A and B are shown apart, each in its own frame.
Chain A
């Protein structure tokens, strides 16, 4: 109304303030990015510090357990040398140890793993990490896509029979990963023989970028991925459905429908786009759970990833390897969270507009 009285401009061409912001070049949300970067750096520092102090607060340490395992075959001199090697020399002040620890980390040195024949921890992790990242990455993306889509449709068709999906997926979500993995092995591998029961590929197959190896890897990954998807689906479905129910009551949905917009567009472009935002935010929480579940599931499937490495390290009391794994996992989760943050900033213009 006011636009008409002030100047003879077509109001549809002027648009709203939001259109104006859209038309200008995209603002970089520096404040948002800065806050997140500070938080991630703080988290990383906290994780590293916990990692440093944890073994030093406990009674025994890696060298003690190594000495116990070698049963008196090592001299006290050797023990002293080992302590110096692991940075556990008790004569050095704690602060110097802490500085040394950082120095080692910044040079990419995670220490030496006892259980894998004195190999550097970094190498042991580097050979296992791709398997876990592939497994968790693929499974999480599949689960997020299916769960969110399903949740949106269930929320849209509220009150219909689709509501029964929610208790079913929730029940599946309360099953421990490792148990479902074992059941799947029993059903699909041992009884039906459809998929192999464990490992990432058969012993005889030579790793490489050829069709045979890739099909091996895919067929071995089906059961683990299926397990993660089935268990983690429930959380996404429930979260999306609940958010949809809230969003569908908003006035702008009524307006969109009232002006005759096709239902499909209202559902996906108007309702689901807003309802998905909390989903992305809850990614941080979910990822920790999924990573934890995957670690245990790798033990069940003898999958050669981080989880199996962690179990072996735990059994061998290989503290350096355990801590290295923990650090790498924290790093991986942080990187995934950064990706989720970027996705959030892209999907929600408000994070960008608050800068203006």
Chain B
């Protein structure tokens, strides 16, 4: 913390330094150990942006997050290049080929009026992702604004904002969505996204408030305040980098909820069926008694929702393990001990005959990740 670099250029280097310390990244030990040799005088100014970016993306660099992001990327590509991928117009009717099972002409069969289900799903990806991202961005902006403000302020203002987010947390979201959405005759996409965002920001705000409150009393924030930095700079430059992992995690969580909410609203027919998404496909399947015989009509759409949800939760798993390294190291440590013939829950410390690695027998939270790195 108190390297010469921080003393000479506190404002610029503080976020880069404290990001590791504050969040408790698995790399913390390595970074702290490596820092004196790598940067004896000061952090290189020119590389600040890129090193900052690399640090910000570190939470995605584990296998789980990467897998999730790849799946998400595939869906995004499908949404962008929908006209190229879809073999048919999703709304084109072909009354000669109704309710066809999957074939090479129609990869996922056809509907009751001969629409190609595969094309509908491809275009539906667009509807889901556009509304999903829009809603999530709105919700995240509100969550950051309310959460960070509530965490930074003190007294009744903080309590009031906290109570506000708790109210939105407790009120069941879906009925509220249904009621608001049904007030419109033909709600535009932005309104649907706004409704989904309105009911989805509270959890992120609550988590961010808690973290901001703990950051507020750290030394580097106190130093920034003592330096007379303006409030917006303290929040944007000093605090936000340290909140990135939580923001990303709440973004992903909100997106999952928004996708589920959107498809649910579409399925019950509250939002217009002209807005094609996976829920609309299920709505038409339900309306035309596709269950249970015409499985190609309803199974793929549900699987798409589930796969997107899995991708998003994989990203979140990765972020969780980055924020809380124990989640990963606990399993790895237990497996490593098992390999040596030890039981992690054994009540008695066992004496190993073939002593290969001395550090693994006394698991403690502080040296857990470091010990893992050492044994590998």
Residue on B nearest A332 in the bound complex, by CB: B172
Confirm or deny: A46 has a beta carbon within 8 angstroms of a beta carbon on chain B: yes
Question: What is the interface residue range for chain A against chain B?
Answer: 35 or more
Q: How far is the CA of A163 from the CA of B330 in the complex (A)?
A: 11
Tell me, in angstroms, the Cα distance from A257 to B346 when the chains sit together.
8
Majority secondary structure, B binding face? helix
- B44 in contact (CB, < 8 A): no
Most buried by B among A174, A295, A296: A174
Contacts of B175 in A (CB 8 A): 291-292, 295, 310, 325-326, 329
Cα(A186)–Cα(B295), bound, Å: 9
Instruction: Indicate whether B231 reaches chain A with its CB closer than 8 angstroms.
Output: no
Chain B, range 161-185, C-beta contacts under 8 Å to A: 163, 166-167, 169-176, 178-180, 182-184
Contact A185 B292 (CB under 8 A): yes
- CB pair B174–A55 under 8 Å, yes or no, is no
Whether B331 and A159, one on each chain, are in contact in the complex, defined by CB atoms closer than 8 angstroms, is: yes
B82 in the interface, Cβ–Cβ < 8 Å?
no
Which chain A residue shows the least CB distance to B267?
Answer: A178
Whether A284 contacts B170 by the Cβ 8 Å rule is yes
Asked whether B291 lies within 8 Å of A159 as measured between CB atoms, the reply is no
Is A98 an interface residue when CB atoms closer than 8 A count as contact? Answer: no
Q: Tell me the nearest residue of chain B to A258, going by C-beta.
A: B347
Main secondary structure of the interface of A (DSSP, over half): helix
Among A4-12, A14-22, A108-116, A244-252, the stretch in contact with B: A244-252
Which of A171, A315, A333 meets B310, CB within 8 Å? A171
Q: Report the nearest A residue to B338, measured CB to CB.
A: A159
* Chain A hits for B282, CB < 8 A: 178-179, 182
Query: Is B170 a contact partner of A182 (Cβ separation < 8 A)?
Result: no
Knowing A158-B330, A288-B171, the reply to whether A310 touches B178 (Cβ < 8 A) is yes
Contacting B at CB under 8 A, from A127-162, are 156-160
A296 with B166, Cβ < 8 A, contacts A171-B310, A314-B182 known: no
A183 with B302: CB separation less than 8 A:
yes
Does B327 count as interface, using CB distance less than 8 angstroms?
yes
What distance in Å separates the Cβ of A322 from its nearest Cβ neighbour in chain B?
5
CB distance from B205 to the nearest CB of A (A): 12
Stretch at the interface among B96-104, B111-119, B232-240, B256-264: B256-264
State whether the Cβ of B52 lies closer than 8 Å to any Cβ in chain A: no
Partner of B334, one of A160, A173, A310, A323: A160
Q: Which residues between 181 and 235 of chain B lie within 8 Å of chain A, taking CB atoms?
A: 182-184, 203
Instruction: Please tell me if the beta carbons of A337 and B170 are within 8 angstroms of each other in the complex.
Output: yes
Bound form: Cα–Cα A287–B171 in Å: 9
Task: Say whether B305 contacts A176, CB under 8 Å.
Answer: yes
Q: Are B172 and A39 interface neighbours, CB within 8 A?
A: no
- Which residues of the partner chain B approach A315 to less than 8 Å between Cβ atoms? 269
State in angstroms the CA–CA spacing of A248 and B333 once bound together: 13
* Distance from A174 Cβ to chain B, minimum over Cβ atoms (Å): 3
User: Among the interface residues A157, A249, A315, which one has the most CB atoms of the partner chain B within 10 A?
Assistant: A249
User: With A43-B171, A325-B175, A329-B175 in contact, is A174–B183 under 8 Å at CB?
Assistant: no
Closest to B337 in A: A159
Residues of chain A within 8 A of B12, CB atoms compared? none
Q: Known contacts A185-B292, A314-B270; is A333 also within 8 Å of B171 by CB? A: yes
Given A260-B347, A292-B175, A329-B175: A39 and B163 within 8 A (CB)?
A: yes
Minimal Cβ-Cβ distance residue in A for B183: A58
Q: How far is the CA of A289 from the CA of B167 in the complex (A)?
A: 14
Within 8 A of B (CB), among A69-126: none
A295-337 to B contact mask, C-beta < 8 Å, 1/0? 1100110000000001100110100001101100110011001
Q: Do A182 and B174 have beta carbons less than 8 Å apart?
A: no
Q: Check if B298 sits within 8 Å of A179, measured CB to CB.
A: yes
Query: Is A222 located at the chain interface by the 8 A CB criterion?
Result: no
Which of A55, A175, A246, A288 interacts with B302 by CB under 8 Å? Answer: A175
- CB pair A322–B182 under 8 Å, yes or no, is yes
A351 interfacial contact with B, CB 8 Å? no
Q: With A and B bound together, what is the CA distance between A158 and B166 in angstroms?
A: 34
The reply on A214 being an interface residue by CB < 8 A is no
Query: Known: A42-B163, A182-B286, A190-B292. Contact between A311 and B176, CB under 8 A?
Result: no
Q: Of the candidates A158, A182, A296, A300, which one forms a contact with B344 in the assembled complex, judged by CB atoms under 8 Å apart?
A: A158
Say yes or no: A179 contacts B332, CB within 8 Å.
no
B330 touches A43 (CB 8 A): no
Q: Are B292 and A288 in contact (CB under 8 A)?
A: no
B1 on the A face (CB < 8 A): no
Whether the Cβ atoms of A296 and B326 lie closer than 8 Å is no
Known: A159-B344, A263-B347. A174 touches B313 (CB 8 A): yes
Closest-CB distance, B173 to chain A (whole angstroms): 6
- Expressed in whole angstroms, the Cα–Cα distance for A334 and B268 within the complex equals 26
Q: Report the minimum CB–CB distance from B194 to chain A (whole Å).
A: 14
Interface status of B335 (Cβ within 8 A of chain A): yes
Judging by beta carbons under 8 Å apart, are B176 and A326 in contact? yes
Question: Which residues of chain A are within 8 angstroms of B170 by Cβ–Cβ distance?
Answer: 43, 284, 288, 330, 333-334, 337
- Determine whether B363 belongs to the interface, using a CB cutoff of 8 Å to chain A: yes
Complexed CA–CA distance, A248 and B344 (Å): 11
Q: Is A191 a contact partner of B292 (Cβ separation < 8 A)?
A: yes
Chain B residues closer than 8 Å to A333, beta-carbon distance: 170-172
Tell whether B127 is near chain A: CB-to-CB under 8 Å. no
Residues B268 and A296 in contact, CB atoms below 8 Å apart: yes
Q: Is the CB of A185 within 8 A of B291?
A: yes
**B313–A159 touching, CB < 8 Å:** no
A-side contacts of B295, CB under 8 Å: 186
Q: When the two chains form their complex, are residues B183 and A175 in contact, meaning their CB atoms are under 8 A apart?
A: no
CB-based contact B324/A246 at 8 Å: yes
Docked-complex contact B267 and A326, CB < 8 angstroms: no
Q: Which residues of chain A are near B344, meaning CB under 8 Å?
A: 158-159
Verify if A47 is at the interface (C-beta below 8 Å from B).
Answer: yes
Contact B179 A326 (CB under 8 A): yes
Q: Could you list 12 A-B pairs, sorted by A, with CB under 8 Å?
A: A42-B163, A54-B180, A178-B268, A178-B282, A180-B302, A285-B169, A287-B172, A288-B169, A292-B264, A296-B174, A314-B270, A322-B182
Instruction: Kindly list 12 other residue pairs between chains A and B, CB separation below 8 angstroms, not including A242-B327, A292-B175.
Output: A58-B183, A158-B331, A171-B309, A174-B310, A176-B260, A179-B302, A179-B306, A186-B291, A242-B324, A245-B326, A288-B171, A310-B175
